[in-house]
Each structure stands twice: as C-alpha cells, then as structure tokens.
Amino acid sequence: MSSLGHLGPDAGPLTFTPPQRRRIYLMRHGDVTYFDDSGKPIDADTVPLNDLGRSQASAAGRAFAAENIRFDRVIVSGLPRTRETAERVLAETGQQIEIETWSCWEEIRAGSLSDLPPADIAQAFLSAFDGLVPEDTRFMNGESVRELLDRVIPPLAELRADTSWDTVLLVLHGGVNRAILSHAIHPLGRLFLGQLAQTPACINALDVGDKPEDWVVRLVNFAPPQPLHRDNRLTVMEKIFASFLRSRRRA
C-alpha cells in the first residue's frame, strides 16, 4: 500500500462511489418429520414443521427482532413448511406483511427409489449434496442439478429488477439455497456446491448491487438457537437417510 504515496501530480483526483447494495436474507425452513411413527413416508409437499422446527423458526425471528430488521418483501416457495417458518419469523418481528409465493423455488424434486437396487439408494440420497456436484447428478433418482439451476437462478434477476425493496426475506429449502449461494459465490458461471450446509431455519445474508455479478456473501448457515452448531456432525441429508433406513426396518 505504500506505493500509493508515489502517484504522480498529473494522476488526477482519486474518487470512489460506494455501490448501493440491497440485502437478501435467505432462510431454510424449520425442521420437519418426513416419516411417521409407523415408518410411512409423509408427503413432502404437505409436511408441516414439527415442534423443533417451530421453535427454530421462532428463534430465527427473535434474532431478526433483536437487530430491528424490517423486511420490504417476504417470499416463500409455497410449500407449507416455508410459509409456516415465515409466519413465525414475522410474528416475532411484529411485522404484518403479505407473504408471496414463488413456486419456482420449491425444493429439488425427488423421484422414485423403487427401481434402484439397495446398493444405489445411499448414493441417490447423498450424492446431490456432496462436494462440487456435476450438473447431471439426480437427487434421489429425480430432478437433476442442471434442472434445479435452470429454474432457481433466472428468477433472481426478476427479483433484483424490482428496485422497490431494500431488504427481502426468502424462506426456501436446503437444495434451493445451495443453488442460490453457489450462484452468489460464482455469479459469472454455473456452480453447485453441495457441501454448503443448510441447517433447519438457518439464516444466510447476501448483498446485491446493480451489476448482475455484484454479490457479497455476508453470512452463511447462522442457525439460532445453536449458532455454533455444537451438536451437529451429520448433514441434514445424512439424518434424513438414517431416518429412512429406520422406517424401512419398521415397515
């Protein structure tokens, strides 16, 4: 930095216009139970938050309230677990704001595992969220990472084109959030980083400027009421897979 003192007299005045960035708070919905006590799967399109998920969503709301954060828009995927999470956040912040539904941001879609041999089932569960994921990887024999990126990333431009908001809350899903975070990290290319953990009801903070490539990642996977993740060693999908295996044993 000392070389800055040697600018010539004709170099002209140094100027800097700070970029005007807006804030996206990106949340994952709170915890849900995907299998009932008998081991039967619960429809992922209708499953509500469980008791833990409700407490997590309220804790996230209290974190926003503690810093007096106000939202101009709140957008969910439309699946009940995202709407309920958003409602609990708003209840804690004391805001009454219409919740918008953007179904393009529903979770990566699983397929049928019935045609897969047992040896391939673990790979179907876990490979989509493992490292730098190839775009042809399919989640649980369903939607591919390429298909996920194709429907999740373009709507971000639509959101950014609306200049009426300064702070927006998105309450979405683990896979969708990974797609958005990966784009924020590498906005000029296509990337899907599976190892970006998204704990239930976690908060991510992203800033966006006027230029499409202007993203700043401020915060990732902040998860009250345990922000230091003391008890977490497994990924969410590893926990779901373990639950799936227990349900098969009970069936």
Q: What is the per-residue pLDDT across 205-248, written as a single tens digit (0 to 9) for each?
A: 999 999 999 999 999 999 999 999 998 888 888 888 888 788 76
Set out the domains of the chain in order of their start, with CATH numbers: 18-250 (3.40.50.1240)
Q: What is the per-residue pLDDT across 39-62, written as a single tens digit (0 to 9) for each?
A: 677 888 999 999 999 999 999 999
Determine how β-strand 203-208 pairs with β-strand 215-222.
antiparallel
Tokens 């060693």 sit at which residue?
Answer: 233
Q: Are the beta carbons of 173 and 158 closer than 8 angstroms?
A: no
Q: Give one DSSP letter per residue of 225-237, joined into a string.
A: T-TT-TT--S-HH
**Dihedral angle sign, alpha carbons of residues 151, 190, 156, 172:** positive
Cα radius of gyration rounded to whole Å, the chain: 20
Task: State yes or no: pLDDT of 3 exceeds 60.
Answer: no
- Residue 5: predicted pLDDT: 58
Q: How far is CA 124 from the centre of its chain?
A: 21
pTM of the entire predicted model: 0.91
- Residue 39: predicted pLDDT: 64
